[in-house]
Structure 1
């Protein structure tokens, strides 16, 4: 049986419905990220799990127990916020100990657990420091330790890394994932950062306008998006407008190029328009590159991005970006140059709304 279940969850504020029929089952020990743009409803779902908001309809259960009627302090949930939310008048030790004191734990239990948590986050040497004496990354580690100290059954993180600089974000997200695996705690992580979600999640929920557009593993979300929104939101993806030639043969035309798709075109007929998608890293300019399909077009622009060179190609009215790895002898394609991009037909996805 699933550990955390959200069944037909809806949430409205006045006449505005911000969460629409949200369903999901999360296994015990799973790390799930809610990914989406601002205003898509991901934080509202998190706040309903925590008990800060009540669903307008639907049910939330944890370990088989309905949570709808329970207050936040009755749900045994740990919460980490974007803004740290540490008590400025308390040192690190007392901040981490706060939940344990509220729970009425003994002094010996508190000291043992706080030391355990500070050792877990690698800040046992800073137990006497106050929040203002610490970096943002250190403060967020303390906030994580405070959330974990009472041994919650679920850990919720609401964009905990967005206030940190890029380098600290990368190292801290890896630490959070390592700690989560070590403790085996069921975790829901809210973010608008695609790389964060892809790098640390067991599964990702891509949210759009209050709905879960797609739920899947990072690989499924990136390689096999099921809606136009997911295809355009996660990673860089070329959306190419094609014309159906022969539905029975799954052939389409892009400019002067004919492509036989692996995926079934479905009920469309010859002459119909079809949107197909291609990742920038899928193609190659090498003449001996493995592939059963190609597109020929003119170079619009080419940019050196460090590890990759990104080039835009005009093909039949479509602008197609493709990436190739940088090397010391790499030559940037020149504007106006005609190039052939080679790839495999299975790299194409049919984009359905």
Structure 2
């Protein structure tokens, strides 16, 4: 039985429905990221789990217990916010100890638990400092320690890294993941940053318009996107329009060039237009790479990005980007040059709208 189960969860504000029949089962100790743009409903789902919002419909169970009748302080859930939310008049020790004091834990036990938590986040030497004396990354680690101190059954992280600079974000997200794995705590992480979600999650929920467009491992979501939205939101992607020529043979036409797909086109008929997805890293100009498909087009631009050069070519009105590793001895193709991009047909995916 799943540890956290959301069934047909719904939320409306007045006449506006912001979460539509959201369904998900999360296992104990799993790290799940809700990924999507602003306004897609990911934080609203998180707040319903925490008890800060009341669902309009559906059910919410944690460890087999219905959470809907329970107030937030009765759910044993730890939450870390984007804005730290530390008490400015309390030092680090007292911030971490706050929930334990509210729970009536003896002072000796509180001190021992706070010491354990500060050691976990490697800030035990800053126990006497106040929030204003600490960096943003340090404050967020204290907020994490405070949420974990009460031994919650579920940890909720609402875009906890978005206020930090890029380098700190990378190190702190790795630290959060290591702590989560060490404690084995069921965790939901809300973010709009695809790299964050891909790098630390067991599974990702890609949300769009109050619904889950796809739920899967980072590998599944990136390599086999279920919808056009997922394909375009997760990673850089080429979207290519093609015409179905022979659905029985999986034959399509891109501009005036024919291609045979690996995916079935049984649901389409000749003359239909289909949307195809191709990752920039899937193609190569080298004729020595393993490939079974090729498209020829004219280069429109080439952009130097450091380790890679991203080149764009026009194929039948479709602008297709592909990445080349930067090699000082290899001159990238120039605008106006005709090139042939080679790739595996399995990398060309049909995506539904």
Fold-level similarity (TM above 0.5): yes
Q: Deviations over 1:129-173 (max 9, x none)?
A: 100000000000000000000000000000000000000000000
Q: Deviations over 1:71-114 (max 9, x none)?
A: 00000000000000000000000000000000000111101100
- In 2, the alpha carbon distance for the partners of 1:276 and 1:50 equals 39
Could you say which residue in structure 1 is the equivalent of 2:260?
260
Unpaired runs of at least 5, structure 1: none
Q: Deviations over 1:25-59 (max 9, x none)?
A: 00000000000000000000000000000100011
- In 2, the alpha carbon distance for the partners of 1:128 and 1:339 equals 64
Counterpart secondary structure, 1:112: helix
Structure 1 residue 273 displacement after superposition: 1.2
Could you say which residue in structure 1 is the equivalent of 2:288?
288
Q: Comparing 208-217 with 250-259, which one deviates more in the overlay?
A: 250-259
Could you say which residue in structure 2 is the equivalent of 1:79?
79
Q: Comparing 263-272 with 205-214, which one deviates more in the overlay?
A: 263-272
Question: How do 1:72-221 residues align onto structure 2 when only pairs under 5 Å count?
Answer: 72-221=72-221
Could you say which residue in structure 2 is the equivalent of 1:27?
27
RMSD: 0.7
Runs of 4 or more above 4 Å deviation = none
- In 2, the alpha carbon distance for the partners of 1:328 and 1:73 equals 60
- In 1, the alpha carbon distance for the partners of 2:13 and 2:269 equals 44
Q: Comparing 10-19 with 249-258, which one deviates more in the overlay?
A: 249-258
Aligned residues: 353
Counterpart secondary structure, 1:43: helix
Structure 1 residue 244 displacement after superposition: 1.2
Q: Do the aligned partners of residues 330 and 129 (structure 1) sit closer, same or farther apart at CA in structure 2, a change above 3 Å counting?
A: farther
Counterpart secondary structure, 1:281: helix
- In 2, the alpha carbon distance for the partners of 1:267 and 1:132 equals 60
Could you say which residue in structure 2 is the equivalent of 1:57?
57
Structure 1 residue 267 displacement after superposition: 2.7
- In 2, the alpha carbon distance for the partners of 1:16 and 1:54 equals 15
- In 1, the alpha carbon distance for the partners of 2:347 and 2:214 equals 19
- In 1, the alpha carbon distance for the partners of 2:109 and 2:330 equals 61
Could you say which residue in structure 2 is the equivalent of 1:236?
236
Q: Comparing 262-271 with 136-145, which one deviates more in the overlay?
A: 262-271
